[in-house]
Amino acid sequence: MSLIQKNDYDPPKSYVLRKGRITKAQKRALTNLKNLHVLLIETKKIDFTKAFTTSNKTLVADVGFGSGASLVYMAENYRNTNFVGIELYTPGIGSTLNQIEKRGLNNLKIIESDIRELLQNYIENETFDVMVFLYPDPWPKRKHHKRRLLSEDFLELLHKKLVPEGLIYCKTDWKDYYSQIKKEFFLSKDWQKENLRSLPSVLKSLPKTNYEKKAVREGRKPRELFYRKISI
């Protein structure tokens, strides 16, 4: 039985559980390292001050980190910042666990959860300094657009979970999804569009993921969105 209480309105799920092949190395990591680096969801809010052994204050969330390449890069190159990766893709979690152990990343934790349910039930308000969304599922068919994650109601939820002046950074290779997200931010009075030249250094030199390379080969241009939370 799920510990997550359902709301009166449950929006369509913004994801499908991919069934990628799990390698032996990923399986070993899931068996041996999960208890060290994956935060368990219980019946109360997650206390990130206890989750990390570092004294770092800044907390960055990478939502849907896939294989973990960008997440590991950030954590390895910015060890004075804490990172949490949120994902449901098991092979990606296994790969990232191996990299955490290999590189000695005590500033990186993983949460295996749906992001919407996680934020609604287990994350305190004003928790994250930065939230990163690299290539969220575009759900390209029109009949599936309602499943897109970055919608009006989800932006309202993100606003609660970001600290004052907190940041959202998003990349997508689907032009109409980019336009939709941009419109949602524009219609809201809760966000200020930021110049991409003012991106924090942690986001400026992210490695190109395999997905991004494939998108470019297929002629889809990566587009970036960068917004700051307006605190009233």
0.85 exceeded by the pTM? Answer: yes
CATH number for the domain spanning 135: value is 3.40.50.150
DSSP codes joined into one string, 175-199: HHHHHHHHHHHHH-SSEEE--GGG-
Render pLDDT for 114-158 as a digit per residue (tens, 0 to 9): 999 999 999 999 999 999 999 988 756 778 578 788 888 899 999
Domain that holds residue 170: 37-229
Number of structural domains in the chain: 1
Catalytic residue among 47, 62, 137, 176: 137
Structural domain includes residue 29: no
**Nearest Cα residue to 75 out of 86, 57, 62:** 62
Structural domain includes residue 179: yes
Render pLDDT for 51-84 as a digit per residue (tens, 0 to 9): 998 888 899 999 999 999 999 999 999 999 999 9
To the query of whether residue 137 is one of the catalytic residues in this protein, the response is: yes
Structural domain includes residue 1: no
Q: Is the separation of the CB atoms in 189 and 230 below 8 Å?
A: yes
Tell the burial category of 107 from Cβ atoms under 10 Å away from its Cβ (0-12, 13-18, 19+): buried
Structural domain includes residue 12: no
Structural domain includes residue 98: yes
Structural domain includes residue 127: yes
Q: How far apart are CA 228 and CA 185, in angstroms?
A: 10
Residue 84 CB coordination number (10 Å): 27
